[in-house]
Structure 1
Amino acid sequence: MQLQNQLKALAEKIGKLKEKIDTEESTKHAFVLPFINILGYDTFNPTEVVPEFTADIGLKKGEKVDYAIFQNEQPIIIIECKNWKEKLNTHNSQLFRYFHTTKTRFALLTNGVDYQFYTDLEATNKMDEKPFLEFTVTALKENTVHEIAKFHKSNFDVDKIVDNASSLKYTKEIKKLIAQELLTPSHNFVKLFANEVYTGRLTEKVMGEFTDLVGKAFTLTISDKVSDRLNAALNKEVENQKEEHQEPEEVSKIETTKEELEGFRIVVAILRRKLPVSRIVHRDTQSYFGILLDDNNRKPLCRLHFNGTTKYLGLINKDKNEIRQALNALEDIYQFENELLQTVDYYEKE
């Protein structure tokens, strides 16, 4: 929640100031350095955030990248900055040349408004041409904030980020293809469905008809899915209102807090890698906030104990015993990603 608020404040600052920013240098100071600070790195500590970082490349000496973030005396992220008015173009970027000469696994190209994170998924020590994470800080979505949180100094884990980077990158590319196919279905895409439902010869005329049919069918499918979710939400709200009316005293003893709901969203963001969101359900009680598989009390995924001074995440082991882990901040839940996913495996094996 704190990270989300800080990013929101930075977005508001950008909206107010960007028309007064004319140079790359002022973009760095007004927009990029505050972002680095939000990630928990001390921009005033030259051993942690190194400006004008130099990495000699063959016969080329003295070329510099704008910033390098260090941890344990090793660069973990190199950053190249542009003026906020410039479009990001990796083909002219020094990041490609620097990437293989440093031990870093991550490179960031930014103009202070748009951010592109790169790694080496396709060839070791060679920066990918396409980013695995990209966003506009003034138009952030909740799931993107969770991905940014993984780069925070308190959460930074190279292996976890790289493991997730592959899923992020290719999911993003597939979403782009799906969006393009929905807008203008390609011949092969239409043919895939026409072959399944049409027994005749696929002439040019038939393919033209099926191009319209496939587009309409996908539009209707998406519309039906949205309608089903809205109806389910409305029906649940009506049921909750009935329960509140019937048992006002019992309901009034349970107070679901914003922090509990934020914790639930973080758990969902982790578990959706293995589960549909619809199977992850929360049920609040007087003593803890429960998160269940299939709304089944016998299948707890985890529990949030946020009522006391110290917050705890209750992890469930294979014997269905609870193990509590103290949390300093809500983002600490991401540190137990493997344990949460393992709990899902226990139930799926059953």
Structure 2
Amino acid sequence: MSFKDSVSGLADRLAKAKSQADISEEATKQAVILPFLKELGFDVFDTTEVIPEYTADVGIRRGEKVDYAVAINGKIEFIVEAKPLNANLGSVQYNQLYRYFGVTEVRIAILTNGADYWFFTDIDAPNKMDERPFFKFSLEAYDDGDLRELEKFSKSAFNIDLVQETAAGLKYSRLAGAYITEQIQSPDDEFVKLVGRSFYEGNLTAKVVEALKPNIRRAFDDIIRQRVRQRLEVALGDDDGDEQDEQDELASAALVPAKGGVQTTDEEWQAFFIIQAIAAEVTSPSNITIRDAKAYCAVLFGDNNRKPICRLFLEGKTKSISFFDAEKNEERVHVGGPGDLYQHQARIKNVVAHYSDAMGGN
């Protein structure tokens, strides 16, 4: 069985576990977390390899335990703190991981609720666990790239130097993405000056910078649309540049105007184009439509309210997106901006593929 198939089996186990009401932390460990470690190649029945209730004295705190320590060739390589399946990792306390990380030689810490696995290391300061995970893996929404990163933590492939090098790359990519997303939404003066120096020959005064900002935003929009068009062309198997007008018409056919005076924002359009490009891998882009309302902006399959893909809540400082699965279960996720949609490609493709299959694969 391939690693991909093994992880798919874990996702099935997770779905069964979630069908139980109020599953406890211990039940979560047995149902999902230990099988997860097993699929990474560890012998969960060997207490010298997967050590439960691992104890390390921390300062004046004595006898505190972390849920699991995982060893390779007798050396503990990472520690695991488990939470119940219904726990939101973004709001739970995991102080034990911080304390253990600082007093042991371990360089990788994992926080999990069985469904989501957050991986931490010490990029910011040696022997001090970073506040933010460098890698997040979800059994409910992953793609081939996520699987490749996860496999680096398997017993046979684990290499701490490679993992930390990858961790630094992932962190810097995330930070760069966050900065670029911020500039797409609202370019600051320094960014406008940086770009403006490449084409503006005059003095970049405050008045000029302010005047250039709409042009910079428009340039971002054009770049995004071009990238979307390129992905559509690849997905549709069209390498002929003469067909570009046809592609534009295909994409435009999916745009349903907002009603009742509701204005669809630039961010909502950007998010729609990204979703349309992702979905193009499994269906015709014309099946993906946008319908704006006062409370949220909906992205639908076939312009059908009964076939929601997601709802966009992108106005205001706190932004979020609600994703739907094949059973129309809704999960709302906080995002920094439209660019974060690329982290949820599997969710989008799964629900679109379900709708597409139901209508005969069109």
TM-score normalised by structure 2 residue count: 0.59
Aligned equivalents of 1:183 and 1:237: distance in 2? Answer: 31
Can you list the C-alpha shifts for 1:196-247, whole angstroms capped at 9, x where unaligned?
A: 3334565666545433322221121132234345546767879xxxxxxxxx
Aligned length: 238
Which range moves more in the overlay, 81-90 or 96-105?
81-90
Q: Deviations over 1:60-112 (max 9, x none)?
A: 11100011101222211100111222222576421110012222111111111
Are 2:200 and 1:173 equivalent residues in the alignment? no
How do 1:308-347 residues align onto structure 2 when only pairs under 5 Å count? none
What runs of 5+ residues in structure 1 fail to find an aligned partner? Answer: 239-350
Q: CA deviation at 1:195?
A: 4.0
Higher Rg: 1
Alpha-carbon distance in 2 for matches of 1:185, 1:154: 45
Identity level (%): 41
8 Å CA contact retained: 2:78, 2:107 = yes
Change (3 A) 1:90 1:196: farther
One-letter amino acid of the structure 1 residue matched with residue 173 of structure 2: T
Superposed counterparts of 1:2-21, under 5 Å: 2-21=2-21
Residue equivalent to 1:223: 225
CA contact (8 A) 2:107 2:121 kept: yes
Cα 1:67–1:183, aligned 2, differ >3 Å: closer, same or farther?
same
Change (3 A) 1:16 1:237: farther
Letter in 2 for 1:94: Q
How far apart in 1 are the matches of 2:65 and 2:237?
Answer: 59
Q: Shift in Å at residue 25 of structure 1?
A: 1.9
How far apart are the structure 2 equivalents of 1:178 and 1:12?
36
Q: Distance in 1 between matches of 2:35 and 2:121?
A: 23
Tell me how far apart the structure 1 counterparts of residues 135 and 119 of structure 2 sit (CA, whole Å): 5
What root-mean-square deviation, in Å, do the aligned CA atoms of Structure 1 and Structure 2 show? 2.6
Give the match for residue 122 of structure 2: 120
Give the Cα separation in 2 of the matches to 1:101 and 1:190: 46
Offset at residue 53 of structure 1 (A): 0.6
Q: Secondary structure at the match of 2:6?
A: helix
Alignment map for 1:102-181 (pairs within 5 Å): 102-181=104-183
For 1:139, what is the secondary structure of its paired residue? Answer: coil
Q: Equivalent residue of 1:86, what SS?
A: coil
- Verify the 8 A CA contact 2:81 2:94 in the aligned structure 1: no
> What is the CA-CA distance between 1:186 and the residue it aligns to?
3.1
The answer on 1:95 being equivalent to 2:97 is: yes
Structure 1 residue 153 displacement after superposition:
0.8
**Structure 1 counterpart of 2:336:** none
After the TM superposition, which of the residue ranges 146-155 and 11-20 deviates more from structure 2? 11-20
Q: Higher helix proportion, which one?
A: 1
Aligned to 1:212: 214
**Matched residue SS, 2:130:** coil
Amino acid of the structure 2 residue aligned with 1:163 = E
1:238-289 CA distance string (max 9 Å, x none) = 9xxxxxxxxxxxxxxxxxxxxxxxxxxxxxxxxxxxxxxxxxxxxxxxxxxx
**In structure 1, distance between residues paired with 2:110 and 2:100:** 12
Distance 1:10 1:222, change over 3 A: same
Distance 1:26 1:187, change over 3 A: farther
Q: Give the counterpart letter for 2:131 in structure 1.
A: E
> CA shift at 1:49, angstroms?
0.6
Contact 1:74 1:103 in 2 (8 A): no
The residue that corresponds to 1:52 in the other structure is 53
**Contact map agreement 2:137 2:150 (CA 8 A) in 1:** no
Partner of 1:194: 196
In 1, distance between residues paired with 2:208 and 2:16? 54
Distance 1:124 1:90 in 2: 24
User: Which residue number in structure 2 is paired with residue 36 of structure 1?
Assistant: 37
Instruction: Tell me the secondary structure at the aligned position of residue 124 of structure 2.
Output: coil
Match of 1:83 in 2: 84
| Residue identity matched to 2:123 | L
* Structure 2 unaligned blocks of 5 or more: 241-362
Query: TM-score, length-normalised on structure 1?
Result: 0.61
> Which stretch of the first structure deviates more once superposed, 185-194 or 119-128?
185-194
> Does the CA contact (< 8 Å) of 1:90 and 1:129 recur in 2?
no
1:5 aligned partner, one-letter code: D
Q: Distance between the aligned counterparts of 1:8 and 1:185, measured in 2?
A: 41
Distance (whole Å) between structure 1 residues aligned to residue 5 and residue 191 of structure 2: 42
* Alignment CA distance shift 1:194-1:137 (3 Å): same
**Structure 1 residues 19 and 177, CA gap change in structure 2 (3 angstroms):** farther
SS of alignment partner, residue 131 of structure 2: coil
Q: Shift of the alpha carbon at 1:158?
A: 1.5
Q: Aligned in 2, Cα 1:159/1:9: closer, same or farther, shift over 3 Å?
A: same
> 2 CA distance for matches of 1:237 and 1:15?
41
